[in-house]
Chains A and B, each alone.
Chain A
Amino acid sequence: MATVAYTRTEDSQAEDSQAEGVVVGGAREGLSIRLSQDLDGAFTDLVAQHQRAVYATGLRLSGRPAEAADLAADTFLRAYVALRAYTPERIAALRLRPWLVTIVLNLWRNQARANGRRPAQVGLDGAAEIPSREATPDQEVEHGQDRDRLGLLVTRLPPRQRAAVVLRHVTGLSYPEVAAVLACPETTVRSHVRRGLGRLRQLMSEAEVEEDRR
């Protein structure tokens, strides 16, 4: 597992405090309150309840399943270190999902920067092209393939559109939450989502044309 070096760059600090403008306050979640009273007793529940959102966000941002698992584990480990330093009041007021997603995003960006990588544009099975739609005996297999195809297309979106679309429509954050996590105005987020969805539809059209040709 990657060692979690919890170095808070200025970038991430600014993002965190902006994120907290929305991720803190409002109606209190039961789990936040339990964490504020008994961090260690409730932490396992935090992982259990949010691992799907955290993992899927990392997966759809990075496009790499192995990296997504590491990203998810590192997110929770970093969250634990942070929570140990927070006051109970601050913990109780946390909106956990956007807060965790902010951590995923920061870790993903740091990793991409460190590796100098371009965003992954390969399919989940390593193929560089969209897998052809073969005759499938099983609905579940077909759903899985459709999912892989769509996941691949998402990784072809430019980073800002990708982040906006993933956070809004995969992770399921509200527009104000996405704006807080991405540290940009809500209007900008809506624009990124709109253009991202449009681009996806375009990519899907192109893919279908490709397949019809085969």
Chain B
Amino acid sequence: MRMTLSSPSPLPPSSVDERRSRPGIEDGSLVRALAGLLVEPPDDLVTRVVSSWVKLPAPLLGGSGPVGDLYVALSDRGVSFVRPSRALGGDPGRFCAEFRERFSRPIRPEPGPPPGRLGAAMTGLLEALGAGAGAGGGLTFDLGTLGDFDRAVLAKTAEIPPGQTRSYAWVAREIGRPRAVRAAGSALGRNPVPIFIPCHRVVRSDGDPGNYGLGPRLKRALLAGEGVALDGRGRLAAPGREP
């Protein structure tokens, strides 16, 4: 609310400014004009500052849906945080609490996709995931809180097509850090957007599927769900063939 105009402050009569000022440029009108400089931001800041979240229902996540429902957080720049609902006891409050702990950023307590481009991209994503495809098609990610190395690891991982795997060594090599194999593994363990960025498709060179932030069992289930051949012990049936 605009405050009422103050009365002009009394100026000393010998003020140079008074002598020089033209008639009409009075204190009152200048003050009013300055009040008019209080303009709205060009875009609503709420969507820029406060993140949104949605729950993606399991049936759309491809057949048997080993993952179950997903909670997905989005900023105005893209998907920023993903967690299976099952791991959080189906409690969206816990998802929001984890988000706030991890990012120290505000998120709306109620679900709802962000308006505009990202809202539409979310719908496209549901369809793509339902068809077993990877994330893409207009969906972007907000990985601004991650370091350069983590972002490079995840960007490379996002290129792995569904139904295929690559080794941690491959990822490290591809980002120009061939000796940073363990670091690549750690970065993948920190992946804030699993499923969307398919870190489950990164496996050990020896055929052991390796670790997974959401648990090794889920990793094997996701790989099997994509048609990756696993033997009776849950190891890759045909490791070692990759570009």
Contact = CB atoms under 8 A, between A and B. Distances in A.
A204 B40 CA distance: 24
A193 B9 contact: yes
Interface stretch (B42-50, B161-169, B216-224): B42-50
Nearest to B46: A47
A111 B34 CA distance: 24
Tell me if B's interface is mostly helix, strand, loop or mixed.
loop
B144 A52 contact: no
Interface in B92-108: 96, 100, 104-108
Contacts of B3: 172, 174
A interface, over-half SS: helix
Interface stretch (A14-22, A23-31, A69-77, A113-121): A69-77
B35 A170 contact: yes
A55 B45 contact: yes
A51 B46 contact: yes
B178 interface: no
B238 interface: no
A106 interface: no
A183 interface: no
Contacts of A43: 50, 106
Interface residues of B, number: 41
**Contact size range, A:** 35 or more
A169 B33 CA distance: 9
Interface string B14-56: 0101001110010100110111111111111110111000000
Given A80-B106, A197-B30, A204-B25, A52 B38 contact: yes
Contact of B104 (A1, A80, A198): A80
A150 interface: yes
Contact of B46 (A3, A44, A193, A205): A44
13 contacts: A3-B144, A47-B46, A51-B40, A52-B39, A54-B45, A56-B38, A60-B37, A69-B41, A76-B45, A169-B34, A194-B11, A202-B17, A204-B30
Interface of B: 2-3, 9, 11, 15, 17, 20-22, 25, 27, 30-31, 33-46, 48-50, 77, 96, 100, 104-109, 144-145
For the complex of A and B, 10 pairs with smallest distance between CB atoms = A198-B17, A169-B34, A55-B41, A51-B45, A76-B49, A172-B3, A56-B38, A43-B106, A201-B21, A170-B37
Given A52-B41, A76-B49, A150-B37, 11 more contacts: A47-B45, A47-B46, A51-B46, A56-B38, A68-B41, A69-B43, A73-B49, A147-B37, A150-B34, A171-B38, A174-B3
